[in-house]
Amino acid sequence: MVNNASALGRHGLHDWLLVRATAIIITFYVFYILVMMTISDTITYSSWCRFFHLPLTKVFTCLTLFSILIHGWIGMWQVLTDYIKSLAMRMLLQLAIIVVLFVYAIYGTLVVWST
């Protein structure tokens, strides 16, 4: 059995709720993009630029980005705790994943707000 040394005080219900909440946010974002594509006559570069210049779209895109990162982190944490039995190896892999997700968060936020 895997001990909770790398759980950082989290509980299963907390993770379950976060995964469900982030999945709902991601689903709403997909519908938001699909509605934009449906109501547009033609989708051009300028129409995408106008769409992503809207503050609502920028905030919603950043919220979705962070939801994807949280969703991914919980999934990876669960896979690592299930399949990597060595605590040192698991912690090293978790650190690498955290660094990558942190870089994604910074880079994604810069891309969204620079449009």
27-64 pLDDT tens trace:
999 999 999 999 988 899 999 999 999 999 999 999 99
Enumerate the known binding-site residues for a ubiquinone.
Answer: 83
Enumerate the known binding-site residues.
Answer: 71, 83
Spans of all domains in the chain:
12-113
Enumerate the known binding-site residues for heme.
Answer: 71
Report the C-alpha dihedral over residues 92, 94, 95, 99, rounded to 10 degrees.
Answer: 140
What crossing angle do the helices spanning 55-83 and 87-113 adopt, rounded to 10°? Answer: 170
CA atoms of 52 and 23, how far apart (whole Å): 22
pLDDT beyond 60 at 101: yes
Contact predicate 112/58, CB 8 Å: yes
CA angle at residue 36 from 73 to 71, to 5 degrees? Answer: 5
**Residue in 65, 61, 63 with CA at minimum distance from that of residue 104:** 65
Length of the chain, please? 115
What does the pLDDT read at residue 67?
A: 97
Kindly report the CATH class assigned to 12-113: mainly alpha
